[in-house]
Structure 1
Amino acid sequence: PVVTHGLCFCSIGFNSVYHLTDLPSFVSGKYVVMFDPQGAYLPNVSAANPGKRIDYVSSTALTLYSDQLSPYRAFGCDMKVPFQGTLFRFPLRNAEQASSSRLSRQVYTEDDILSLFAQLYEEAVYNLLFLKNVLALEMYVWESDMGEPKIVYSCTLRSQDDKLSWHRQALIRFSGTSAESVEQKIDSFSMDFVSEAFLGNKFEKKSHTYFIVQGMASALSKIGIFATGAAKEYDLHLLPWASVAA
């Protein structure tokens, strides 16, 4: 999302959070930003200005709205100094809210999210395979009697060196070359993953290794000619790129 003087311009990707919540928010730097497109929860909001941006460092926001902001006090964020990162909060839509919501009538419970966590854990390796920068996925729970969140699932790249990063950035390297290149570019490498589950007294650890081959077709190939034509005729800037893992 892009926020300018309280006005929110949200992308299609971000709008998917409204399946879960009516009031998403995030903390980044010295600001906490809240979105209320229905105008149902925040004061003085409208369709043209459906949110609030608060400087929590120089204000008394944490004292006044501790119930809303305290959940952000984790992962190195103390809500006292600017946070060098981004934390999102999606309060789950309960049955009462769903009955009147104009965004979605879907109700989500804690059990639903735990089920999503379990599914994500099983598919985490596949989610990381073709990403360029993400090194790990970790899932935590934070019960009311816990001082801090507790990890329940994780999936991590075993090796996180510069060589692996160089391979994962191949698309950026190859797409930066001339569009008229007649040379096919191929890159290959292996990736090792470690997945762990911490569920009560049960501990599970799994290892996975994948070999990845990725490449950019030449401008003279069939797919290269198609991409060039799409750019000229329809202003569609496609890349003749493919990547497979086994």
Structure 2
Amino acid sequence: MEGEEFNPTEPYTRRLRKILEEYPDGSQILREILQNSDDAKSTEQVFILDHNTYPSSSLFKPHLNNNCQRGLDSYQGPALLAKNNSLFEERDFKSLLSLANSEKHDQFDKIGVMGVGFNSVYHITDSPSFITDDKYVILDPHKWCYNGGVKFNFINHELAEKCPDQFAPFRRIPCDIPCDELFKKPFKGTIFRYPLRDTTGSDISDKIYNPEDILEMFHKFYEIDSINCLLFLKYIECISFYELEKGANEPKLLYKIQLENAEKVRQERHFIVEKIIPMMDLLNSSSLNENNQLKATYVASFSRQKGDSKEPNSKWLILNYLDDLLETQTYFQNNFRKNIRDYKFIPNVGLAVPLNDLNVTGKLFCFLPLPIPMPFSVSVHGYFAVGAYYYYIECFNKYCISYIKNFF
């Protein structure tokens, strides 16, 4: 018996288009990049808007020859670059191959869970690329040049010397390594490059991005998000924004937001997140002690800088609390018939109290600020899920409100 086989698959680009239709544009893209860097335990995040267009005579030769409408030379123009000081891990590479299927779903020290955050960058680009350690990766969802993407070892094959134009857009980033030494040895960090979509014809998005749009994105982040984005993150201590103008040799600093007393509060900032994995393992093996609540309290001092002008420091009282995991597990099994491990329902709540300006409007957070203002100056953090909202409010009332009253 013979039959005609069929494969009910959906093009990668169509899936991305659907994700973007339900995923925010604008400065939300920067927050998603920031979240991924924090999950990678980076302490710094650098954004660079590069206005330049680079030569294209010595680029890689594409694997596919489809007489397509775009080659690698299409991505040598203006771009957003994002650099952090952590290496991309093998598990991270696997996440890139999946849509809405994150490798972080069982990593309880990570923020990400749904697997769609990175895909927000496709609002602005059709072909992201990045360098980490000795790897150079190009993602090609349209399969115009590669069959979805390709990963090179640029050290072993001396690719930066053989194809200098391919690496030219990465050479003028703020870095401690001299330009002529860059990419001759493994890079101790990760640099993402997002060439801006400058023409129609993409199956992912019809929106064209120009450098002015990215500048506006930077400005909104600094004016609206800024210090808020550092309040409940675990590792990021500095966020900076640069602009590399046409023909310039070095980028100029536009904005910087920094945790000034990082060395003093680093241990308290990491305290709960570094203990949550072994505690969840004990919970899974039914070995967790009944007395398993954790709390961390510290005063964080933040600064903001616009160009050469630095604002006075802003001090915040930060409270983080992990409630009883056994009690939480019982609650979710009885009310939702779910295990907290499977859905990452962690009873981790927090408060951020401004100490300099009590006129600040508080916000609701899930590590990063949500577009939901609070009716008071205190900001509230939690792993919020719609069905679990009232349980988190119980956790909040149980510890945080009484703590504020005692503090003041």
TM-score normalised by L of structure 1: 0.81
Change in CA separation of 1:121 and 1:33 when aligned onto 2, cut-off 3 Å: same
Question: RMSD of aligned C-alpha atoms?
Answer: 2.7
Match of 2:97 in 1: 9
**Alignment size in residue pairs:** 230
| Match among 120, 142, 157 for residue 59 of structure 1 | 157
Is the Cα contact below 8 Å between 1:28 and 1:85 reproduced in 2?
yes
| Match of residue 187, structure 2, among 57, 69, 83 | 83
Match 2:247 to one of 123, 127, 145: 145
Where 2:120 maps in the other structure, the secondary structure is helix
Q: Where in structure 2 are there 5+ consecutive unaligned residues?
A: 1-90, 99-114, 354-408
From 320, 338, 353, give the equivalent of 1:214.
320
1:174/1:216 contact within 8 Å kept: no
State the AA in 2 paired with 1:172: V
| Contact 2:258 2:303 (8 Å CA) reproduced | yes
Cα deviation, residue 61, structure 1: 3.1
Task: Give the match for residue 242 of structure 1.
Answer: 349
CA gap 1:220/1:26 in 2 versus in 1, 3 angstroms: closer
User: Is 1:186 the equivalent of 2:186?
Assistant: no
Secondary structure class of the residue paired with 2:236: coil
Which amino acid in the other structure matches residue 55 of structure 1?
N
Counting only pairs closer than 5 Å after superposition, residues 1-246 of structure 1 correspond to structure 2 as 2-3=92-93, 9-10=97-98, 11-40=115-144, 42=145, 45-46=146-147, 50-59=148-157, 61-63=159-161, 65-73=163-171, 74=173, 75=175, 76=177, 78-94=182-198, 96=199, 99-122=200-223, 123-161=225-263, 163-173=264-274, 175=276, 176-177=278-279, 179=283, 181-182=290-291, 184-198=293-307, 203-219=309-325, 225-227=330-332, 229=334, 233-234=338-339, 235-246=342-353
**Residue type matched to 1:9 in 2?**
L
Q: Gapped runs of 5+ residues in structure 1?
A: none
Which has the larger strand fraction? 1
Give, in whole Å, the separation in 1 of the partners of 2:217 and 2:123: 13
Letter in 1 for 2:151: R
* Larger RCO of the pair (alpha carbons < 8 Å, separation 6+): 2
Cα separation, partners in 2 of 1:218 and 1:192, compared to 1, 3 Å: same
CA shift, 1:214, in A, is 1.4
Cα–Cα, structure 1 residues 190 and 8, in superposed 2: closer, same or farther, change >3 Å? closer
Identical pairs, percent: 27
Q: Is the 8 A contact 1:219 1:228 kept in 2?
A: no
SS at match of 2:301: strand
TM-score, normalization: structure 2?
0.51
